Structures are given as C-alpha cells and as structure tokens.
A and B are shown apart, each in its own frame.
Chain A
C-alpha cells in the first residue's frame, strides 16, 4: 500500500513501540505534525526544543526506552544541539527527527535551513539525511537499532519536506543489516579467564563502576559479583544507583567530589576493576598519579574507551551484563574462602579511611543545602526519581542522597549541562506518572529552562523542583574563592532573579518557600502531597562549598576536606 513519507514515519514509530514523542512544531515538519492528530502517541509539546531533547533523555534514562524527539528545521533543529551532546556524552539512546527544507532547496540558504546533519555529525552516534522516500523506512529502522544497541547514543534523522510529502510502497524491514556496525557483546573468553585469575590474586581489589552498569541493566549481576567476592564498590556520578549506595560494600562516589575513603581506596588498591566507566578527568584527577599501585581490568562495550586515558592491563570489550554473568558462572566452582579471608586487612584499611572523614556540615541559623538534600532522601526513603542541574546542587545530591536503584538519578555527567534537570524530570514523570520525580536545582541552572513550568502545567505533570537558592552560580563562585582570589565576577544573582514562588504561580504551578531550617521538612512534605508541579525555593547559606574537593589536575589523595 502506498503511503506518504509522513505516514511512513508514523507507521515506523508504531512498529518500534514508541509511546511518547517530545515535540515542537514548525513549517518543515508540518506533514508529520499533521499526521500526529490521528496517531496513538502521547505528544508532549515543550516550550523550547532544547527541553524536548532533555525531556526525551530523562524519559530514556528513567525507563530504559529510546526517547523520541520531533522538531522542525533551522532553529528548531539547532536548538536541539545541546540536548544531543548531553545525551551523546552520557550514552543515552535517542532518535531525533528534524524537519528540513525540500531537497531542491538544500544548500540554497533557504528560510529556516540549517545543515543539521553537518552540525551534529561529531555529536551523534550516527545521523542521516533522507533524500528519497524509498529509503525512509529502512533509515528509521536503522536509527532505532543504532541508538539502542552497542554503546547507546543519539541518532538524528533529517527529513526534507518533499520526502515527507512524496509517496511510496511501505514495507518495514524485519532486519537491520549494516556491515560497518557490529557491536561486540560477548567478552573474549580467554580475557575473562585471565581477569578472574588476576582478581583472585589481588589483596586490595576495588570495583570502579560507571554508567555502563545502568545502560546494560547489569545492577543485579554487579551486586551478585561484588557480594560473591566481597569486593568494595565505588561509583562514578553516572554509576550512582548502579550499586545500592546503602550496601556495606558501597564506598560511594569517587573523584573530584567523591568520598575521602573511595578516593583513598583507589589510591591504595592493587587491582582496579573498571566496569562501564571511562576514566574521565573528574574521576581520575592527575592521570599519572591515578591508582598508582593497581593493575587495571577494564570492561567496556566501546573499544575506544579502553586505553584512551589510562593504560589498561587487561581489557575486555563487551556488554557488562553478559561479562559479569560469565564471570559469575566461572566463580561458581571456585573456593573463595581464602581469597575472602585475605580481604579482611583491606576492609580494615578502608574502615580507617572512613574514621573521622564522614560527610558533614554544620547547620546553624541558615538552611544548609546539604540538609535539604538529606531530608529529601529521608522523606522519599530513596524511592524517588531524582534529577539534578549542574554545579553544587548536583554534587550535594550525589553526596547526600543515597541512590538504591538504577535509573533513579538523572544527571548530565559528561557534558555538565545546566538546565538539564528540570526538563529531564518532566520526561521521567511522563514515563512514570505515579512516581515522585524531583529536580534538585540551583537558582542559576533552573533559570536556563524555567519556561518548561508551562509544559509541566499544560500536561499536569506533578514534577517537584527543589531550588537550593544561594543567589550565586555556586560552583563557579567556589572555584573563584579557591583559585581566583575571591574575585567574584559574573556569579552573583542576588536581587537579579525572579521571585520563584510568584514565577511558579504565574504559570499556574504551586510555589513554596523556606527561609529557616525548621521550615524545610514541612515544605517538602507539603510539596510531595500536592498532585501538581511545585517549585520550592530554599534560601540556603550562600557561602557553603562542596567538600571534599580534589582540585583539577591534582592526585586523588590531595583532597580539600574543609
């Protein structure tokens, strides 16, 4: 049967099991927008295309499904770029459909024309310009396949208007065949054997796990593996929730703002088992001084991640879940008693690192931002979906909210995108309408996408935003305090931000404010009981800093503790 390009797009999305589309309309994409009228998809119309991508990203991170974005050509497409790079850096599966001017006008500087395929080439896993309606179904099939297989990532498909209008016989391909794309899933058996041997020989092993654990849904296997061997686990920001933070083997987050004991344990370990992590500079500190005594096993699905930043002794390319499963089966017949007994000294050493170095803050008359995060954790019992913006709010969340489960922390780890958290929370709320979704925000970051209050109100998505309002771009201010002689250029927002309570009300949301410590819990309780979007403004101590801190480029054991 003949279908137009626009109808083919709709049909393909149905076949891919898409339920929700985050969109903003425009001229070039109108043929598809028109078809949406009669389609079964839930359509979330955002207020800015950047937010469409962040929302789809939040939806994807929380649910594990592919997030779908539909925007128009030119500015509609270019507005998605920050969202795309955010997803690319954190390996989030998205399909972004952009309108394009008709093929005959491409290259003519037509109205609302932008070379979005050229612009996004380095920041997508792959992208396509569809030139013929006959290729459309195959390309969309490939786009979804590429986005969700291997190391996931965003794929953009650029759709010229005439391709959407032209008709052809529709046939959805059953299979994908891309000869240049064959991700490795099964780890090399010999390497896995060698890894087990190396592990059983170690005296001070540590598991260093990242977002790969979450994207490959390997949390259960990781838990079994860590427990079977009794190896302590430290997580990257992206890995939080991949291993229960309240587990006795959890050392919390490592890196620039990681726990003292996690960083010290890495520096003292004799075997670092990296799984689905990529040795980012915020994790390693001074790279030459990172884990100096340790042999390194690196398990990752992306071969380019291996030996990119550090020399690895034993690489295993493949899917974390399958490799952990394989390792567990090989360990089944091993007698681990003497190995586990040998770890007691290591546990004692780690206990010593913990003594006197727990995360702390002192609450007096001003609300401490850490206190707000801690109370959010206590009240939600760690069961909420939490998103963050970027900066101090993000780090305090990582430190004071204990993540028990995967896919409960949505945060821009790689790119560090301010303005990510609120639209991501909206996306997560769309995926889980009955769950409590909270964006822990800063007063600066929140304003980068605060227009999305309108989207939350429009679709009655009861997202909660907790603004840790210190009237500063706090993390930048912290760096200026430490490294730029307290010359606070361009960071003070005092008297220059809107009244967030009134702002919420202007959009038809609920606004609440706490100025004293004793108001924090009642305000949170009230907000969580309201089935509407709520913006909470917590006036917090403006001078509070994030500790511990490893200054950029220093070794991990050079931490500022106060």
Chain B
C-alpha cells in the first residue's frame, strides 16, 4: 500500500544521508522524497512516498523515529490530507499537435513555460492521479523528457504538524 510520510528533521548536514541509508540498508523502498527548510529555519520538512504492507510501514515509521535528528514522523495515510507534485514535461510539438497540446494543458490548468522549434515545455501541478492522467494523454503525442519534484503533502484544515503536535 502507498503511504505518504511527513518528517520534521533537524536542518543539518548528513540527515538526508541517514534517512536514505536507513531505507537502502533495510530494504525499504522510496518512491519519492522531497526536502526543504520549513517555517522554522532549524527544521526541514521531508515528504517521503513509500510502499509496503502494514508490518513494513510500521518498521519504517519506528526506524525513522529512532534516528536522533528526526523530530517528528507522521503517516498521512491515517489523516485527511492534500498532496501535490510538480512536473516539467518536454513534449514534441508539430503543427498537427500544437493545438491539441495547448488544449490538454488548458484543461489540466498547466502552463507552457518554454517553446522550442519542435517542443513545448509544460509545467503541471497536481496529485498523483492528475499527473498520471495528463501523462497518459500526452504520451501518444511524444514526451521527450520529464522531471518530477516528488510529492509534498499537508493535512487538510487548521491542523498543523509541529514539533509538539
């Protein structure tokens, strides 16, 4: 099962290596990982998307908690949350396909951020479903390259994830 895990970690060197090493050393998989400074500059927020059965996820959460620079671990699957990912897609644009690409981008509320002689570069933001949907539509038109940021996620409503929450 797919899990989205939010971590608060000390904003110091080596923390990412500890977390990546934990996953590789224990054979857990990382589908995506996103990390940057949080509101508090001494703390970074990390979003990890992983898959595993209940026992594996229980171990993942406990092992993450055991790392000294990890301040907080929240498995969002138990919460109501929103998630977003940004993707840059370079797609072939011929006189025959330009119109259609623009229409798809428009429907998905994406943006064309660069235009080449034979390509469009598209920026699209959404959850996993939306991203997969646009990729399915663009694929037959010829995707030349794709770069994804990985998921970021947040609990809905007024609840926040803080050190003490």
Q: Which residues of A contact B (CB under 8 A)?
A: 117-118, 121-122, 125-126, 129, 146, 178-181, 302-304, 306-308, 311
Contact = CB atoms under 8 A, between A and B. Distances in A.
B25 interface: yes
Contacts of B17: 118, 121
Interface stretch (B61-69, B105-113, B114-122): B61-69
Given A126-B68, A181-B68, 20 more contacts: A117-B14, A118-B17, A121-B14, A121-B21, A122-B21, A125-B68, A129-B14, A146-B68, A178-B68, A179-B71, A179-B163, A180-B10, A180-B67, A180-B68, A180-B70, A180-B71, A303-B66, A304-B62, A304-B66, A311-B55
Contacts, number: 38
Instruction: Give 3 closest A-B pairs by Cβ, nearest first.
Output: A304-B62, A180-B71, A126-B68
Contacts of A121: 14, 17-18, 21
7 contacts: A121-B14, A122-B21, A125-B68, A179-B71, A180-B67, A303-B65, A304-B63
Interface residues of B, number: 21
B11 to A, nearest CB: 12
Contact of B59 (A117, A118, A125, A304): A304
Q: Report which residue of A129, A146, A303, A311 has the largest number of chain B beta carbons within 10 angstroms of its beta carbon.
A: A303
B100 interface: no
Query: Which of B65, B66, B69 gathers the greatest number of chain A CB atoms within 10 Å?
Result: B66
Contacts of B18: 121
A181 B65 CA distance: 9
A307 B68 contact: no
Interface in B62-108: 62-63, 65-71
Contacts of B62: 303-304, 306
A308 B63 CA distance: 11
Interface in B1-51: 9-10, 14, 17-18, 21-22, 25
Nearest to B42: A179
Nearest to B164: A179
A117 B15 CA distance: 12
Interface of B: 9-10, 14, 17-18, 21-22, 25, 55, 58-59, 62-63, 65-71, 163
Nearest to B70: A180
Nearest to B60: A304
B21 A302 contact: no
A239 B14 CA distance: 35
A308 B58 CA distance: 9
Q: Which of A126, A179, A303, A311 has the most CB of B within 10 A?
A: A179
Contacts of B9: 180
Nearest to A117: B14
A279 to B, nearest CB: 13
Nearest to A178: B68
Nearest to A127: B14
Nearest to B58: A307
Contact of B66 (A122, A129, A179, A302): A302
A181 B68 CA distance: 5
A180 B25 CA distance: 21
Contacts of A181: 68
A180 B55 contact: no
B86 to A, nearest CB: 29
Contacts of A178: 68
A65 B68 CA distance: 22
A33 B65 CA distance: 37
Nearest to B10: A180
A146 B68 CA distance: 9
Nearest to A142: B68
B65 A122 contact: no
B58 to A, nearest CB: 6
B14 A180 contact: no
A146 B62 CA distance: 18
Nearest to B14: A117
A287 B71 CA distance: 33
Contacts of A311: 55
Contact of A308 (B59, B67, B68, B163): B59
A155 to B, nearest CB: 9
Contacts of B71: 179-180
Given A129-B14, A303-B66, A122 B25 contact: yes
Contacts of B63: 304
Contact of B55 (A129, A146, A307): A307
A117 B17 CA distance: 11
Nearest to A306: B62
A121 B23 CA distance: 13
Nearest to B20: A121
A230 to B, nearest CB: 34
A304 B56 CA distance: 11
A131 to B, nearest CB: 9
Nearest to A302: B66
A125 B63 CA distance: 12
A79 B134 CA distance: 54
B1 to A, nearest CB: 17
